[in-house]
Structure 1
Amino acid sequence: MMPVMILGIALLVFVVLQFSPADPAYNALGDSASPEARAAFAEENGLNDPLPVRYFAFLGDLLRGDLGVTVAPSQPVVDRIATAFPLTLQLTLLGLSLAIVLALVFGVTSAVHRDRWPDQVFRVLSMIGIALPSFWLGVLLIQQFALNMPILPTGGYVNPADSFSGWLQSLALPAVALALPVASSLARLIRTSMVAELDRDYVRTARGSGLPPFMIIRSVLRNSLITPLTVLGVKVGYMLSGAVVIEAIFDLPGMGKLILEGVNGGDVGLVQGTVLTIAIAFLVVNVVVDLLYLLVNPRIRTV
């Protein structure tokens, strides 16, 4: 279904951006260009063609990997995305890794100590984490750990090839701002799934047989991960879109900066390319999550 979904996303993005008030001819030629020059630009670039003709031309360019050029300076959109997307991907993966670790720790601890004080504490903390918007959390982190306690930078990006520690410091606060809401949501799902699984007959049998608790918890956790994995695929999309806002707060030159640049400059092609890239990345991640089901529960292979 991925090709069909990509076509649908491409159609939606293309049609929506056609209603943008930005005039490509005006943005490309400037306000000093004559009406004749603008009309010639529109004719040369197919802006006067009917919408279906422009859409199929756009699809043809998309299949060739051509997303057009930016308005000013004139650069291929693909090259701009190739420079910005790795940073967004790094931030998302770092935040996702942190979210998974925190969710497993909190979720498993809550399930094992069901209805006792660790469970109550983690449930309250998870509710607070879910309620915190990432952008507001990012501002709080900057104020506390970059201004009041200047141990981490307020923003900017360091290439890992230049300094790994500098790279980690530059992405630490943005990754935490992205990870905490996702970790809180996943922890609640893991806790709920494990509590239901701990009440099954095979768990009572394993306990009665004298199996070590860590082996029982490992088996229960593995059987409880299907639902959290399903939600994880959706949460990655949330993190990709949330990274756009977080990058603006922490002044990171990723996809968020490209989208803001395209919106502020009326560059429809740049916005179109970045949104499509993020949407396709989200689809790819969900396919990977579907394949992870086979590792977590091999019985799915026979379905």
Structure 2
Amino acid sequence: MTAVVRILLRRLALLVPLTLGIVLFVFLVMRFSAVDPASAFFQGANPTPAQLRAFREENGLLDPLPVRYVAFVGDLLHGDLGTSALTRGEVADQVLTALPLTLQLTFLGLGIAVVLALLGGVVAAVYRDRLPDQVVRVVSLVGVAAPGFWLALLLIQYLAVELGWFPSGGYINPADSVTGWLWTMTLPALALSLPVAAQLTRIVRTSVVEELDKDYVRTAIAGGLPPRVVVGRNVLRNALVNPLTVLGLRVGYLLGGAVVIETVFSLPGMGKLMIDAVKNGDPAVVQGVVLTTAFGFVVVNLVIDILYLLVNPRLRDPAA
């Protein structure tokens, strides 16, 4: 068994207790919340105490917590996220309908953030302590301090309302029109990605500066290799480990930030689904959205771990 396979198996083994812990946390939070699933199911119908008790008995709400948790985990393993109190439909169906848009927004924002961070960070490192570096550092500092919803409102005000370059809301499915999809998703993706891009830019700059000061870079340039080749082939690859660490954590921010951004731009994704569920007192939908987002965060971090192995061969050394 190779070192890579052993490392991946260890990562996968750690996912089991982590996932069970997430499920337990969400389960306890929802069970001790002020929202009663029985009352939510009968909202607006004025149920009798007998009807409420019958509903609780039928759905196991009167069982001890350990029994309910085991049943809850069993339902999750079968893909059952519960039943919506508002629509009486399966929560899993609603999540599967809203999830693609949230993933599109998250990964489009992630792509924009990575591109901006690499460009800004490398330029700032190569021209350190000169004008390009100062400009990038100031812009990234402002980006880190700016809230995503505020950036969203600014983008709507200037690029949508005043200039009319993009719509202020709405969504076009990429299956209908790729151009229309990009047109409607650009502003939300920018609002979501700019704070992440600002943070990554500062980390990329620091990592690249550290690599540029190492002996192998000076030796390669003194040997006649063009600086752009040294930076592109060696420096950037070695400097990506630290940004990848932060990137894995920032994906969680992107998934969570999509809740606010989707609401601002009226996008029918997971964020709007959860906000509507909170407003309408639909705990099963809230629980389903939270669990799906948490599982997505776990999967993304596993992918980041795999990227570590690809970017830095030293991490594949069993003695490291």
Per the TM superposition, whether the score is higher than 0.5 is: yes
> 2:5 is matched with which residue?
none
> 2:11 is matched with which residue?
none
- 1:201, 1:187 → 2: CA distance? 24
Cα deviation 1:270-295 (Å, max 9, x = unaligned): 11111010011011111111111122
Deviation of 1:175 (Å)? 0.2
- 2:175, 2:289 → 1: CA distance? 25
The aligned runs of 1:1-303 (5 Å cut-off) are 1-31=14-44, 32-218=46-232, 219-303=234-318
Pairwise CA RMSD of aligned residues? 0.9
- The SS at the match of 2:47 is coil
- 2:32, 2:16 → 1: CA distance? 25
Structure 2 regions of 5+ residues with no counterpart?
1-13
Deviation of 1:207 (Å)? 1.3
Deviation of 1:141 (Å)? 0.7
- The SS at the match of 1:75 is coil
* Code of the aligned partner of 1:39: R
Deviation of 1:302 (Å)? 2.1
Q: Is the 8 A contact 1:23 1:266 kept in 2?
A: no
Deviation of 1:299 (Å)? 2.6
- The SS at the match of 1:20 is coil
Structure 1 regions of 5+ residues with no counterpart?
none
- 1:294, 1:278 → 2: CA distance? 25
Deviation of 1:30 (Å)? 2.7
- The SS at the match of 2:151 is helix
Q: Is the 8 A contact 1:155 1:252 kept in 2?
A: yes
Deviation of 1:66 (Å)? 0.7
Q: Is the 8 A contact 1:134 1:178 kept in 2?
A: yes
Cα deviation 1:62-91 (Å, max 9, x = unaligned): 111111111121111111111000100000
Cα deviation 1:249-283 (Å, max 9, x = unaligned): 10101000111122112211111111010011011
After superposing on structure 2, the runs of 4+ consecutive aligned residues of structure 1 that deviate more than 4 Å are: none
- 1:292, 1:28 → 2: CA distance? 45
Sequence identity (%): 58
- The SS at the match of 1:123 is helix
TM-score, normalised relative to structure 2:
0.93
TM-score, normalised relative to structure 1:
0.98
Size of the aligned set, in residue pairs, is 303
- 2:224, 2:113 → 1: CA distance? 33
Cα deviation 1:31-55 (Å, max 9, x = unaligned): 4211111111111111111211111
- 1:17, 1:27 → 2: CA distance? 13
